Amino acid sequence: MGTVVAAARGRRTLAMLSKPEAYARAVLWSVARHYAAARLAGETLAVRLRGTDDTPWHRLPVHITSGEALSLRERYGLDVSPQGAAPITERLAANSGLTAYEYSKAPTGGPLGLIAQRAVAVDVTASFAADRPTACRDGLSALREGFRLAIPVAIKKGAPIPSRVTISAGSESVTVPTVDGDQTDHRYLDPHGVAVILRTKLSRGAGPVADLFSLRGHERPQRLADGAVSLAWFG
């Protein structure tokens, strides 16, 4: 990926940090336009509100005036209640044919964790953080709670993905089947409790530190800070 993409992501994050509620309302209007286009085409709309930014701004209560709600409904067919303040995901959830989904490196529990994100109408796929001291325990926890686990693996484009992934930490070990995360980004259509294999993609100019985020593409056990991960290819 070129550096232009990384720069655009940075500008988006700065805008969110500067004026989070105004940013959320701008995103809401943008989603509304795409929602209208999807309905016109007879398609459903799926949105990743945060993209590659794990800051939980989508949980921020957003105020919508009665005039805005009317305009959103009349222009784009998006039903948004002006009553009180609610997170953008809860406002979007009232509309059929619209799904909000995310990847997240957050822990399973806690006020900003995976379970809390799922509770505000977001389909969440946990992201495996191989460089984290608690990588294996976090991965096992996410799988226990029924989340998919996205795992970056350094394998070439077009090369077959592993069929199974085994994660071990202490006395616990879990083996799960895989899906190819590069075939489509429609994670909300994938079954729960699987490993989503993502071939590693780096921005141009990324240094050796980026290698810590990915597993290697072989079948030997890979030791991490709190356990090990093994990949297996069948057939």
Return d(Cα 1, Cα 23) in angstroms, integer.
Answer: 26
Q: How does pLDDT run across 183-210, given as a tens digit for each residue?
A: 999 999 999 999 999 999 755 554 544 5
Which residue range(s) make up the domain with 140?
128-235
Looking at residue 4, its pLDDT comes to 81
Question: 60 and 143, same structural domain?
Answer: no
Does any domain span residue 219?
A: yes
Strands (E), the chain: 45-47, 61-63, 85-87, 98-104, 123-127, 148-154, 164-169, 172-180, 195-199, 215-216, 222-224, 227-232
Q: How many domains does the chain have?
A: 2
Low-confidence ranges of the chain (pLDDT < 50): 1, 206, 208-209
CA 208, chain centre distance (Å) = 24
Which of 53, 86, 102 is at the close of a domain? Answer: 102
Domain match, 15 and 75 both: yes
Residue 37 lies in a domain: yes
Q: Which of 51, 86, 102 is the last residue of a domain?
A: 102
Q: Is residue 87 part of a domain?
A: yes
In a domain, 113, yes or no: no
> Tokens in use for 71?
């305009």
Residues 132 and 98 grouped into a single domain: no
Q: Which residues pair with 149 in a beta bridge?
A: 126, 195
| 157 and 73 co-located in one domain | no
**Can you list the alpha helix ranges (DSSP code H) found in 19-170?**
20-40, 66-76, 88-93, 114-119, 135-144
In a domain, 109, yes or no: no
pLDDT at 86: 87
